[in-house]
A and B are shown apart, each in its own frame.
Chain A
Amino acid sequence: MTRSPLLDVDELSVAFTRRRRRDVQAVDRISFSLDEGRITGLVGESGCGKSVTSLALMGLLPARGVRVGGTARFRLGGGGEADLLALPPARMRDLRGSEIAMVFQDPLSSLNPVVPIGRQVAEVLTRHRGVKGAAARDQAAELLDRVGIPDPGRRLREYPHELSGGMRQRALIAMAVACRPRLLIADEPTTALDVTIQAQILELLSGLVAEEGTALLMITHDLGVVAGLCDEINVLYSGRTVEGAERHELFAAPTHPYTAGLLGSIPRLDAPRDEPLTPVRGTVDDAIAWDDGCAFAPRCDRFADDCLGGPPPMRERGAGHRFRCLHPTEPAPGEESEGR
């Protein structure tokens, strides 16, 4: 008997309702699952619904003007299961910070400017573990040390503006992992940092996952980030999954033209010097509604007339490799290559 995954997201939908106007379907029936010790990437351009997905799982979407559908079954630490999308707010508040935690994008604005770093770390421990005073301070110092902040005793008393960008992100990570959550969501954790620091932060995150057996959901627009990090990757476009596979499979055989386009636009050190990068044409704003056909069609090089005949179905291609395209760049087993 196989154990159920730590988090099983099934047909998650999020729509923002607007007065007297059509709702905005930000996330449209996305399914994926997360497991202990594994890193799963959620990749897409801004506006594809990846951040909304993370906020929905955290229960941090605004209470009004949002309609959430689907289920997200989470295996609880004490045994049993809970649907994160249906839990009462008070129960969700108990889970947040203890079993499920999140690292945000912009470390400066995500830290309270008028509260010392140590206190911001310690308050999570106080809230979920009942640790107070000097004991909480000591544990906070240990956590800062663990995420690679030198001289943690001094840093505890400092304020966010006194830390460098990389230090701030490390402090945010310390807050997130303080109670050893079993699920960690990182929403573009390296976007605001410069490149050398980016690598360090990613290394820190993957190290924590390996040591603690945490499940990590890595949200990013940068396939280069997930390339070396994720075990499994889901590519989103305009609120839907267009392709999902194990990392090696995805990079070896990108099947959806959008995935192929994203990969083609990553600069590579081993490419010939004069070879130009191939960007994906257009912007996300060019998307059409999935009901009318493939949302990516207006930007797609492999566009054909049948792309506009309703939403393309999800298809399978080998073990766990799913894609949503009628004219894939890689042939599905048993199909002839269209080879253009």
Chain B
Amino acid sequence: MLRFITRRVLTAVPTLFGLSVLLFFWVRLLPGGPEYALLPEDASAEQRAALRRTMGLDDPILEQYGRFVLQLLQGDMGTSLQTGRPVLTEFLIKFPATAELAAMAMLFAVAIGIPLGYLAARRRGGPLDALAVGGSLLGICTPVFFLAFVLKLVFAEQLGLFPSAFRQSPGLDATRITGFFVVDGIATREWDAAADALMHLVLPGLALSSIPLAVIVRMTRASVIEVLGEDYVRTAEAKGLHRGTIRTRHVLRNAMLPVVTAIGLLSGSLLAGAVLTESVFAFGGIGEFIYAATQTRDYPVLLGFILIIATVYVLINLLVDISYSLLDPRVRVS
């Protein structure tokens, strides 16, 4: 198992390196540069050119890339041009919000999607199946920001069931340790703070979960239908096993294999795709920050954030591969 993990980590290195090359040149393809965002509008062309020179942006591009990589290898991701703080510091401030949101969305998607997909498969052709299939189509088609707006309007503003913005109620004095508000609340036993943070996660979590939920419902349904037709399920029936045993040990354990892979792929898209939901609920995660960085051509932030997200994504998929190999002995590497 250790060798398997080591090999997977090592194969991730060239992937991330390739991504860094691609990103570096891609970001530079954006027209304009930070000199427009950093200097006032009435700055002269000479002033802008001078700023570019001092920032080293006029040096040969390969030299700039070399400098970037050298810094990176020393653990230095540069400083944000907008805020003047190190990129890594900025990331650690913004990331918990997005991670909590993504985790909440995935929790919704898995907790609703897998049972719903299973029931739809079992009652194939029935009303629940039609609802699941139709609903998931709707979930995939509805733009996330639109759904976020509707949820906010109905459940926060009209019914007042959930807070409509931010990660925590204003004025709440909570202890900060990790920046993950729910985790902090639990760790410090400030239960009301944890509950408050959780309530703030419900609506944005639901909005963000729509696409992964739809995908998981569909995949679970298709996978369960396939497994139900397998000979080993008939064998389990022939043994007279209880329906619950057949469901968990023989049907779901096999049907979950493709779904687990999908969960890994989807979680990456949640981290990178939370920006619209974050802005509707003024959540202040990495999405908003990356958007702002794009506007101001904040090269170090763009590069650093996307590279870290890619690394997190690689790690999540490594975890998925490990859990997959625990679920399926056929892919286990001895």
Contact = CB atoms under 8 A, between A and B. Distances in A.
Interface residues of B, number: 22
Interface string B238-277: 1111100100011001100100000000000000000000
Interface string A298-332: 00000000000000000000000000000000000
Contacts, number: 78
A104 B231 contact: yes
A161 interface: yes
B330 A97 contact: no
B191 interface: no
B329 A112 contact: no
Interface stretch (A67-75, A79-87, A88-96, A139-147): A88-96
Contacts of A97: 238-241
A111 B257 CA distance: 17
Given A94-B240, A98-B240, A159-B330, A110 B245 contact: no
A114 B231 contact: no
Contacts of B329: 113-114, 116, 159, 161
B253 A114 contact: yes
Contact of B327 (A104, A114, A123): A114
B240 A113 contact: no
Contact of B240 (A96, A114, A115, A116): A96
Contact of B239 (A109, A114, A115, A123): A123
A124 B254 contact: no
B234 interface: yes
A127 interface: yes
A106 interface: yes
A123 B249 contact: yes
14 contacts: A60-B234, A95-B240, A96-B240, A97-B241, A110-B231, A113-B232, A114-B254, A114-B257, A114-B329, A114-B330, A115-B253, A124-B241, A159-B329, A176-B238
The 7 closest A-B pairs by CB, nearest first: A97-B240, A96-B240, A97-B239, A109-B231, A159-B329, A112-B232, A110-B231
Interface of A: 58, 60, 93-98, 101-102, 104, 106, 109-116, 123-124, 127-128, 159, 161, 172, 175-176
